[in-house]
Amino acid sequence: MKRYFCSFLVLISLFCSAFGQEKPTAFLNARIIPIIGQPIEQGILLVQNGKITAIGDARTVRLGSDVQIIDLKGKVIMPGLIDTHSHIGEGSGADGSAPIQPDVRILDSLNARSSSLQRAQTGGITTVNVMPGSGHLDSGQTLYIKLRDGANKVDDLLIYLSDGRYAGGIKFANGTNPIRPGGGNFPGTRAKSAALVREQFIKAQEYKAKITKAGDDKTKLPPRDLAMESLADVLDGKRVVHFHTHRHDDILTVLRLQKEFGFKVVLQHVSEAWKVADEIAKAKVPSSIIMIDAPGGKLETMDVSYVNGAALEKSGALVGFHTDDYITDSRHFLRSAGVAVRAGMSRDKALYGMTMAGAIMLDMQDRIGSLEAGKDADFIVLSGDPLSVYTHVEQTWVEGKSVFNRSNPLDYLTAVGGVGATNDKLVHLDCFDGYEGGQQ
Amino acid sequence: MNNTIFTAETQSRRVFYKFFLISLCLCVSAVIFSFPVRAQIAVKGETIWTMAGEPIMNGVVLINNGKIEAVGTAAQVKIPANYRVISAKVVTPGLIDAHTVIGLNGYLNQPHDQMALDGSSPIQPELRAIDSYNAQETLVEWVRGYGITTIHTGHQPTALVPGQTMVAKTFGKNVDEATLIPSAMINVTLGESALAGQGRSPGTRAKQIAMLRAELIKAGNYKGEPRDLKQEMWKKVLNGEIRLLVTAHRAQDIMSALRLAKEFNLKIVLDGVSEAQIVLNEIKASGFPVIVHPTMFRAGGETDNLSMETAAKLKAAGITVALQSGYEGYVPKTRIVLFEAALAAKNGMSQRDALATITIDAAKILGLDNRIGSIAVGKDADLAMYDGDPFEYVTHCTGTIINGKVVSEVLR
């Protein structure tokens, strides 16, 4: 077994030296759908140090002699998919003690080794907004993660912003989910729900005012309040509100709150968007929608429709998509675009919705969502037309590293399922082939 | 009709008008009722998947009096002048959902429309699906719009023996109009989802089988007096008059189902079978057909080993397999079996085999392949029409015909 281990070490060192040189990699001959800009036939995508350094074709991109070539003839490349609302990673948020808990972070509960993250990679998803549930008016802070490979702890998944913070939003909900008649301090009606939320935002405004007033005099600062800090970030536009909302009247309530407090908001689910698409567009508020195969399942979604994407597009509103995994399986996420087109959305806007629109909703449009020089090298390789049922996601790349390859047997098992597919696997298990406990 | 004869004779004006009005009414009603109800229809398809042979290119299906009158290429089948002509890119037999709970369960998911489980007792084979079926349920209309014309529906797989199943067309004002088989199979559920919990039985897998064996042994001695609804059903099971639809996901539950069938010489249909790949040979050897879990079914708990390729693997092993929309407790409240077949076609099945899982093979498993499941002369005129490959996300179902009647023309 020692022999295996030695050869493994040699492999590792080879890998490291190769990586240390930061050789550029060129992905050649695929049809590239960059989302921003026209599709490129026989395209070239040049990647180095986790970033896209050039995109174009043989006439516009010059390749150096040190470049590594990956030939993807007959394939399609598009940006990694962005799931703007998911529950992968087994995270949790607020507890039953109060309906509004802005201090609670899903960060503190996420299982970075969960196989649900690997399943999402096989679906072509590279960035995810992982959210706590909708049983509270505010169930806490959400986390934007990159589905990097080999993650062992949540820190390995974080996306750091220029000011040193990690990226994330905050989850709010209205309608019936947070309503618990007789549930102590939880709301019993929709009006009460709105009143409780307004109350907290007004407190946050006052908290912010105290900080402003204190200026440089630290003795005058209010005592640290984690909940208020979080809501102050929301009021400052540093933390996007992801607002679970279904019925048209609840949607309008979100727009009313947004107008009153000026926060950045993404409407989540928006099951009855088609009834108030013009109002949503007029408020310039984006919508993240989900494709559900039948109406109902709960009263609030009795009028949910595939047509939401088309209706919002027609009204001029920004549309993205989400899995709400476990409601729909991350492995089928690309299907959302196909079904939206079936119901009248344009192909371009549907693919934009799977990628760039999500980036805008997560405030990361400068880093992800399209294939442009300078952006993160997050992309997927497809076997054909992204809107065809027969198309498979064959490869997923995050920041220039392969995180899923359908030709790898373990990855294939995760992609299609089967015995052992949902067991949380050892990270890089395949490197240790031949290992037998204690004998190495 | 020559009214002038009557006027030329000495009939009074009154008689004439009476007669005229009656004839007018007859004519008008003939136009109104005969057109949609008893219409003779010719369906032209660029591709017709008859499922009774190779697909026909540029084909025609003639429908008369609710049945398929002729099918063939446009050159072979001449369209009579009085037939309404409907054109489609692709025509398939009306689709069959081999196992669902819609009609018993409704889309609102409120107590008043959830009739697929009575929780009072774990073994209730006497519960008839027809006594709960709502032919006008929104979900029935919903799936009809995607070309699904027949459903095998019943009680939900969350109790050991939750009740019976039935087979219905997805059209008809009421259960009597819709029903094809009022008592089709008896639902049996093995494994975790049928454990009673809270100290009640069945609390384990072994107890589930012990309870079923006890019922079957008791029914073996049942003489018919005094009448006992449970015993009557078990007796039918023992006599082979009615089959068990056994939902089992774990390999050990599938094996338990086969062991039970062997002990009592039962006819069963295996259902779900997430771990079929582990016991493929045993399933094959049993000869029982399989209604496999939806391709997009969620993996978790006892279904954590399911695969998008289960249907393909079963088919490749030579097992008769149908797909199902299954039971959903939340959102979506039902799946569309067309989409589940599409995903099977994406994951290892040929297009034809995937289509068979929701047409002819489903009909075979339900024992209805003499009436439905393929486009052949004399069969029920149940057709689905599409504006492209039925499996593609971006294709629409453009129309559905049941018993020769156009029952859906919305683009879906």
Contacts of B109 in chain A (CB under 8 A): 296-299
**Is B142's CB within 8 Å of A390's CB?**
no
Q: Is B164 on the interface with A (CB under 8 A)?
A: no
Nearest CA in chain B to A344: B394
Query: Which of B110, B277, B300 is the closest to A299 by Cβ?
Result: B110
As a whole number of angstroms, the distance between CA A250 and CA A257 comes to 11
Torsion of CA A63, A68, A74, A80, to 10 degrees: -100
Chain A nearest CA to B114, separation (Å): 11
Angle, alpha carbons A80-A84-A85 (nearest 5°): 130
Average pLDDT over residues A329-351: 98
Average pLDDT over residues A205-219: 96
Are the C-beta atoms of B364 and B344 separated by less than 8 Å?
no
Q: Which of A8, A72, A78 has the alpha carbon at shortest distance from A368?
A: A78
Q: How many residues does chain A have?
A: 440
pLDDT (tens digit per residue) in A65-85: 999 999 999 999 999 999 999
Q: Is A238 on the interface with B (CB under 8 A)?
A: no
Nearest CA in chain B to A296: B107
| pLDDT attached to residue A6 | 44
Q: Which of B237, B214, B198, B105 has the alpha carbon at shortest distance from B206?
A: B214
pLDDT > 60? residue A216: yes
Are the C-beta atoms of B7 and B23 separated by less than 8 Å?
no
Contacts of A421 in chain B (CB under 8 A): 299, 304-305, 307
Q: Is A387 on the interface with B (CB under 8 A)?
A: yes
Nearest CA in chain B to A300: B108
Q: Is B304 on the interface with A (CB under 8 A)?
A: yes
For the record, the structure tokens of A159 come out as 């996306």
Burial classification of residue A50, based on how many CB atoms lie within 10 Å of its CB (0-12 exposed, 13-18 middle, 19 or more buried): middle
pLDDT (tens digit per residue) in B306-337: 999 999 999 999 999 999 999 999 999 999 99
What is the pLDDT confidence band of residue A20, given thresholds at 50, 70 and 90?
low
Query: Which of A294, A389, A421 is the closest to B305 by Cβ?
Result: A421
- Cα dihedral sign for A246, A248, A253, A256? positive
What is the pLDDT confidence band of residue A5, given thresholds at 50, 70 and 90?
very low
| pLDDT attached to residue B24 | 54
For the record, the structure tokens of A363 come out as 């405030």
Residues 6+ apart with CB under 8 A from A97: none
pLDDT > 50? residue A432: no
| pLDDT attached to residue A431 | 45
Residues 6+ apart with CB under 8 A from B97: B143, B148, B150, B151, B152, B153, B324, B325, B337, B358, B362
Between residues 333 and 372 of chain A, which touch chain B (CB distance below 8 Å)?
Answer: 335, 337-339, 341-342
Average pLDDT over residues A97-125: 97
Average pLDDT over residues A233-253: 98
| pLDDT attached to residue A39 | 98
**Is B339's CB within 8 Å of A293's CB?**
yes
Average pLDDT over residues A306-319: 98
pTM (2 d.p.): 0.91
CB atoms within 10 A of CB A57: 14
As a whole number of angstroms, the distance between CA A171 and CA A101 comes to 10
Sheet with A125-130, strands from edge to edge, namely A81-86, A125-130, A143-146
- Residue A104 identity (one-letter amino acid): V
Nearest CA in chain A to B307: A417
SS3 A271: coil
| pLDDT attached to residue A354 | 98
Nearest CA in chain B to A306: B412
As a whole number of angstroms, the distance between CA A253 and CA A246 comes to 11
Angle, alpha carbons B279-B280-B285 (nearest 5°): 100
pLDDT (tens digit per residue) in A143-192: 999 999 989 999 999 999 999 999 999 999 999 999 998 889 999 999 99
| pLDDT attached to residue A183 | 81
For the record, the structure tokens of A334 come out as 């690309």
Are the C-beta atoms of A398 and A146 separated by less than 8 Å?
yes
What is the pLDDT confidence band of residue A331, given thresholds at 50, 70 and 90?
very high
| pLDDT attached to residue B331 | 95
DSSP 8-state assignment for residue A159 = -
| pLDDT attached to residue B39 | 80
The complex's ipTM works out to 0.91
Q: Is A329 on the interface with B (CB under 8 A)?
A: yes
Provide the mean pLDDT of chain A. Answer: 92
Q: Which stretches in chain B have pLDDT values below 50?
A: 1-12, 15-16, 28, 30-37
pLDDT (tens digit per residue) in A396-425: 999 999 999 999 999 999 999 999 888 754
Are the C-beta atoms of B384 and B94 separated by less than 8 Å?
yes
| pLDDT attached to residue A17 | 47
